[in-house]
Structure 1
């Protein structure tokens, strides 16, 4: 299948080339030229997450260099089954996506991308993976690519705007993974990545790829856990599953939107923003107006210019029709705190600040009369945010074993001004 740039200037690419490049040469984001169509029956016999992922992704890789590797890539990336379980009230569920190597949903897409790139032929020079992170992406990418031969990783994160445990994870790898704490916001980090990825002359000197959600190799695999959860729920009771997805850069929610567009039994899709309400304002009828990001308790969603909105507009240029397909609501820090307390006191559930945004939005939907089966998406383990969560619930949050092991390592991040030339100079050094 051909992959097209959202900006329509760059030539079509194979999915292998699109994954390797990250960003299209015209600065656009790659998207499939068309979306396959499925019915639930098309997944009969596919029960595990890896099996669903392989069947879902197969049309995109048909005839590609990676077609023969897809089964093995999926087996590696989707070995951990995310539980979908009842959450508090009847017909309310939670999809826990934080059981991977770094306790965040991004482990799935990062693992798929790393396995895909490892299966592609490369030249003698190492490929440098650039990744901007607002908290969780960088650690997932670092873990997925750590010690991978022929690959270097540069993680850029906003200094002082991620949780201490997130910052420790980002700098704990060493070897072929370097962390840079940038003097600025996540949007500044993202701008640095896009600037270098769009610089053809620099890429001649330093071969580059991306592991942000601008990478098609991260976006498409994230459809799999929505498909798997929705199919399991459909098989159990014949009902579509509605989702509330906490989102910042829009990649995770876009993956759910794509899965629904391809015929998976997914009902309504509602986005949960923190105080960075660019998407909420758009879906309420305002203009799409990127703004400087605001610092919130749900820091991984502190994004003022969500990259994947460009993909969403490419899929549906008509704003009215797009608003009919999706909705979004924003949640304040005070509401995040209150929701964490309420979930613990009423149901004994401990949720991270990002998941709390989704829980609060679902509470609003139910109060307004929403019916049906709804799942909130838990994107990170609450133990990554003890400074926020533990004072509110009055107890320590147990550490998952994988997170405890990462926190036991030494950690280092290099300071960096928000300057693409300075970053380029650092990346030229072997």
Structure 2
């Protein structure tokens, strides 16, 4: 008999939940993040060589879904969500160096993987539930568009995207407001951390939840985090089969969800070696890993705007994974990269090698360049989190030419876009949501 894996809060004061309950809630009632009772262990032999990404995800996530009402649906969920490639390919100019491209989904960012998976799960969980569910998502640039695309026109679900006004790229802003119908974008007059705080406050508002069920599609949701593990496992397994050694990763990170996914795959004993994290000028994580106390602070605006996070939510899950601070610091190397360096990396690699990176990926490239300068010759994979065309106002002046726009992104840019302004206050979001709490109403006419 299969024993169901249960989930509890990082803060320890909420009832134990099933995976379906945890995904539906998003945030635990005590404000913590859901984590499994333990991380399962898998072997390379558990996976077939040459599997598709969806097949790898099915095997990888099966222990997390064991005993859950969605367990039998997992293969179909993976097949429905993971329909685009996440290729690992060599950089010809750089020996022993690869790029893991995560930007081939509908909105040209890695967030498409988790958003589409969560949408497939929630559609099945809702079944015939007549109540309209509202998905709240705070975004520093890429998450909101991925969630909007994944849930657009999905019956019975509204999506409300909060993003910091003037702190995302023009094309990101257009994506966030181009959906219409059941997807509404709100331009918050503040920082991403304000958006994230407002979403958490709404999710913890019992009275608001009673009037209109709310959930989250940020990386605080297990439905977003778990599928992001799949592309790391897929790449590491392919590397292992080809070379017989572990793959080392350099991951750009802000809210720590993408980085945590890589860490959990390694904790499951799959062949991932060293993990280095690249941050922008927001130094909350680098400061901690350099031996200082963990001290959240207000985010500062940078060229790598999707990583502009001063209080990364998934740090709670990272601490759950490694409760001892010294042990945690030993697990990862974390480095900060400023805007001047981001510009220099983008310009130099385009000029010398013809390689074009988005500002976020450029932070990882810089970490790699420093490693190679010291004589490091280990096999490293740079994680490319977004397509450079999403940041043309930054990239194109540095490389002296236009960046080709992926077909799916070009289609979104042809649509009209609209976003409503909102103060950066918890009560402002509450007051915006309350008049729309009528269970039968969509946000806007369907387009």
If the length of structure 2 is used for normalisation, what is the TM-score?
Answer: 0.95
Instruction: Tell whether 2:61 aligns with 1:57.
Output: yes
The list of structure 1 runs, each at least 4 consecutive aligned residues, that deviate by more than 4 angstroms after superposition, is: none
1:423: which partner in 2?
A: 429
CA contact (8 A) 1:46 1:52 kept: no
Give the match's secondary structure for 2:241. helix
Give the match's secondary structure for 1:120. helix
Instruction: Tell whether 2:111 aligns with 1:82.
Output: no
2:13: which partner in 1?
A: 9
Match of 1:124 among 126, 130, 135: 130
Match of 2:368 among 362, 376, 382: 362
Instruction: Tell whether 2:25 aligns with 1:21.
Output: yes
Instruction: Tell whether 2:114 aligns with 1:106.
Output: no
Once the two structures are TM-superposed, the CA of residue 47 in structure 1 deviates from its matched residue by 1.1
User: Which range moves more in the overlay, 13-22 or 283-292?
Assistant: 283-292
1:165: which partner in 2?
A: 171
Give the match's secondary structure for 1:292. coil
2:97: which partner in 1?
A: 92
Match of 1:325 among 319, 323, 331: 331
Equivalent-residue separation in structure 2 for 1:104 and 1:223 (angstroms): 15
Q: How many residues align?
A: 430
- Which runs of 5 or more residues in structure 1 are unaligned? none
Equivalent-residue separation in structure 2 for 1:368 and 1:338 (angstroms): 19
1:211: which partner in 2?
A: 217
Equivalent-residue separation in structure 2 for 1:369 and 1:188 (angstroms): 42
Q: RMSD over aligned Cα, in angstroms?
A: 0.9
Once the two structures are TM-superposed, the CA of residue 399 in structure 1 deviates from its matched residue by 0.5
Give the match's secondary structure for 1:31. strand
User: Which range moves more in the overlay, 133-142 or 340-349?
Assistant: 340-349
2:205: which partner in 1?
A: 199
User: Which range moves more in the overlay, 167-176 or 367-376?
Assistant: 367-376
Instruction: Tell whether 2:77 aligns with 1:73.
Output: yes
Give the match's secondary structure for 1:385. helix
Equivalent-residue separation in structure 1 for 2:354 and 2:26 (angstroms): 42
Once the two structures are TM-superposed, the CA of residue 425 in structure 1 deviates from its matched residue by 2.4
Give the match's secondary structure for 1:157. strand
Equivalent-residue separation in structure 1 for 2:215 and 2:229 (angstroms): 21
Instruction: Tell whether 2:307 aligns with 1:312.
Output: no
Once the two structures are TM-superposed, the CA of residue 206 in structure 1 deviates from its matched residue by 1.2
CA contact (8 A) 2:50 2:238 kept: no
Give the match's secondary structure for 1:8. coil
Spell out, residue by residue over 1:160-180, the C-alpha distance to the aligned partner (whole angstroms, 9 max, x if none).
000000000000000000000
Match of 1:187 among 184, 193, 202: 193
Instruction: Tell whether 2:359 aligns with 1:337.
Output: no
Equivalent-residue separation in structure 1 for 2:29 and 2:373 (angstroms): 47
Give the match's secondary structure for 2:98. strand
Spell out, residue by residue over 1:223-250, the C-alpha distance to the aligned partner (whole angstroms, 9 max, x if none).
0000000000110110110000000000
1:349: which partner in 2?
A: 355
Once the two structures are TM-superposed, the CA of residue 46 in structure 1 deviates from its matched residue by 5.9
Equivalent-residue separation in structure 2 for 1:103 and 1:337 (angstroms): 21
Once the two structures are TM-superposed, the CA of residue 345 in structure 1 deviates from its matched residue by 1.4
Instruction: Tell whether 2:43 aligns with 1:39.
Output: yes
1:387: which partner in 2?
A: 393
CA contact (8 A) 2:345 2:366 kept: yes
Give the match's secondary structure for 2:402. coil
Once the two structures are TM-superposed, the CA of residue 347 in structure 1 deviates from its matched residue by 1.4
Once the two structures are TM-superposed, the CA of residue 368 in structure 1 deviates from its matched residue by 2.6
Once the two structures are TM-superposed, the CA of residue 45 in structure 1 deviates from its matched residue by 4.8
Equivalent-residue separation in structure 2 for 1:275 and 1:187 (angstroms): 15
If the length of structure 1 is used for normalisation, what is the TM-score?
Answer: 0.99
Give the match's secondary structure for 1:128. strand
CA contact (8 A) 1:275 1:294 kept: yes
Spell out, residue by residue over 1:312-365, the C-alpha distance to the aligned partner (whole angstroms, 9 max, x if none).
111111111011111100001010001001111121111000000000011112
Spell out, residue by residue over 1:157-201, the C-alpha distance to the aligned partner (whole angstroms, 9 max, x if none).
000000000000000000000000000000000000000111112
Give the match's secondary structure for 2:126. coil
Equivalent-residue separation in structure 1 for 2:399 and 2:149 (angstroms): 30
Once the two structures are TM-superposed, the CA of residue 426 in structure 1 deviates from its matched residue by 2.0
Task: Map residues 148-297 of structure 1 onto 2, 5 A cutoff.
Answer: 148-297=154-303
Equivalent-residue separation in structure 2 for 1:260 and 1:365 (angstroms): 21
Spell out, residue by residue over 1:384-422, the C-alpha distance to the aligned partner (whole angstroms, 9 max, x if none).
001100000000001000000000000000000012222
User: Which range moves more in the overlay, 318-327 or 100-109?
Assistant: 318-327
